[in-house]
Amino acid sequence: FSPIDFVERIANAVEVGNKTRRSALKMMETVQDNGITTSKNPMAMAAAVVHLASLENGEKISQIKIAQASGISAVTIRDRAKEIRQKIGGDM
């Protein structure tokens, strides 16, 4: 499975809107293009981009809900999200 597949799986599980889903997929492509996914758990990266995309689009999806859907801890989601923001902040 690729991180893109995991984004789809998490987005379906937490029932985000189409706009958020598209944002998450685009963000994951940017993350992959910038080499940020190297040596990182792909499910954790997918969970982080779904979280960031939901914030970006004003959807109130809790980190806990994303954590439960992905099997990744909320702390790890926050850490990966912070890393993504630092590395591609303005490109999101």
**Domains of the chain in sequence order:** 3-91 (1.10.472.10)
Give the tokens for residue 55.
């914030």
Q: What is the pTM of this model?
A: 0.93
d(CA 47, CA 11): 9
Q: What burial class does residue 43 get, using C-beta atoms within 10 Å of its C-beta: 0-12 exposed, 13-18 middle, 19+ buried?
A: buried
d(CA 12, CA 31): 20
H/E segment holding residue 92? none
Interval 17-73: pLDDT, tens: 999 999 999 999 999 999 988 889 999 999 999 999 999 999 999 999 999 999 999
